[in-house]
Structure 1
């Protein structure tokens, strides 16, 4: 048994074909968990599931019927002990021009989809009186990110949804927490780092002087999902290398270094 006590637990990961999702799957499997990989694109998740001895299912968080079908399959296997909501989409746009279609599409996955998954996979947790939900949010949920459409709004709402789940489901043995990444190098963000100068400038903004890797997020998610965090619920763990604490450092102060 590992220190985290995840051996034999069944961990369901949404968006498992993505950059963070794949590392989450590998990390949970490395700790002895049985992993269920949910993604809209089975070509992205099935090879990894086969490698890890897990299960890959097609699941579109924007489609409640798709989520319900996946949850039924998992419940037939014994149910989920952990749900990690890592699926996300980004459709850029300034708020004066963003279309309602793009706005709604982002909310359908990044917010409503998280709730739909929590309801579907959490139902068995509530019945059994134990379980853990971990939602991948963002520092953009507390620091508005311009020209990103509904992204910041969806992540801010995710933070509150998780806190509400923690309050409502805590008495029934289910915990809910968030991980809020800062700057992370993933396939979705890779274009931002193609220019070495941009990469260097971004690194210089972070007190730890590096861009996060998906593993940095997975390590925190593992802890929150585990019994080692058994008295932790309703929290948001910011994993940004200190970036969100730098506001006052941007204020000019003549005479100070």
Structure 2
């Protein structure tokens, strides 16, 4: 028997066609789960699911009717046992002139979307008396990311939503935790790392000495969703290679300045 086993479990991943989403599908599928990819574009969800032998459905996480329709599909499969809230968007810009439409669009997907999917799929877990939610937030939930509009406020909201869900649903058998990535190489961020000087400069900022991968995030999510983490609830694991611990090292100090 493997140390972590999801045989017989249905795992739903929002934003399933993206870099981290696909890694989540692969990781859970390899451990025996029936995986379901949800994505804004149905064809991309279906393609991602097909690649791993799972199911794929179109779902706009910011729209209640769309989420409920996806939940109906998954109810017919047996109902969700694990939800990975991974869908998100970025509409960057300085706060002094950020359009309210961009602010609201990000919160609608990144925060409201987590609530709507947690509510719909969480009800399936509550009816079973067991389940796990894993929300993908960001290092930006605790370290403000400038010129990124509502990104940091939204991710901070996700982290607190997870804690509230853990409190309310823990007695019902459903746990809720957060994975917060730092610097990660994905198809979306790949253009940044095409510049080798930028890549090297970023790597120097990370104590572990490398940029994170989607697999790093999936490995953490798999653990948090598993029975091995059955006493972990309402927590956030920052998966950043130690980047968030470097703040004081950037402050000038006599005798220790680079």
Tell me the TM-score range normalised by the shorter chain: over 0.9
Cα RMSD, aligned residues only: 0.9
Name the counterpart of 2:32: 32
* Contact 2:43 2:58 (C-alpha < 8 Å) held by counterparts: no
For 1:103-158, what per-residue CA distance to the aligned partner results, in whole angstroms no more than 9, with x for missing partners?
A: 11000110000000000001011111100000000010000000000000000000
- Quote the residue 2:51 is aligned against: 51
Deviations 1:186-210 (A, max 9, x none): 1111121121111110000000110
Q: Indicate the residue corresponding to 1:151 in structure 2.
A: 151
d(CA) in 2 for partners of 1:229 and 1:16? 23
Q: Secondary structure at the match of 1:36?
A: strand
SS in structure 1 at match of 2:117: helix
Tell me the CA shift for residue 26 of structure 1.
0.7
Q: Please state if 1:139 is matched with 2:120.
A: no
1:45 CA drift (Å): 2.5
For residues 218 and 138 of structure 2, what CA distance do their matches in structure 1 show?
14
Point out the more displaced range, 184-193 or 142-151. Answer: 184-193
Gaps of 5+ in 1: none
Cross-structure match for 1:168: 168
Tell me how far 1:256 sits from its aligned partner: 2.8
Q: CA deviation at 1:51?
A: 2.9
Q: Give the corresponding residue for 1:179.
A: 179
Residue 118 in 1 paired to residue 118 in 2? yes
Count of matched residue pairs: 257
Q: Distance in 1 between matches of 2:82 and 2:73?
A: 15
Contact 2:89 2:109 in 1 (8 A): yes
Give distance in 2, aligned partners of 1:45 and 1:57.
6
**Given the alignment of the two structures, is residue 215 of structure 1 paired with residue 218 of structure 2, yes or no?**
no
> 2:101 matched to 1:104?
no
Aligned to 2:203: 203
Identify unmatched segments of 5+ residues in structure 2: none
Q: Secondary structure at the match of 1:178?
A: strand
Query: Partners of 1:242 and 1:109 in 2: how far apart?
Result: 28
Aligned to 1:15: 15
Alpha-carbon distance, 1:49 to partner: 1.4
CA deviation digits over 1:172-231, x for unaligned, max 9? 100000000000011111121121111110000000110001000000000000000000
Counterpart Cα distance in 2 of 1:200 and 1:53: 37
Is 2:235 the counterpart of 1:235? yes
Q: d(CA) in 1 for partners of 2:45 and 2:196? A: 31
Q: 1:71 corresponds to which residue?
A: 71
Q: Report how far residue 53 of structure 1 moved.
A: 1.9
Partner Cα separation in structure 1 for residue 145 and residue 52 of structure 2: 36
- Give the TM-score, by structure 1 length: 0.98
- 2: CA distance between counterparts of 1:213 and 1:23? 9
Partners of 2:164 and 2:95 in 1: how far apart?
27
Give the secondary-structure state (helix, strand or coil) at the position aligned to 2:184: coil
Q: Find out whether 1:252 has 2:235 as its counterpart.
A: no
User: Contact 2:84/2:136 (CA < 8 Å) preserved in 1?
Assistant: yes
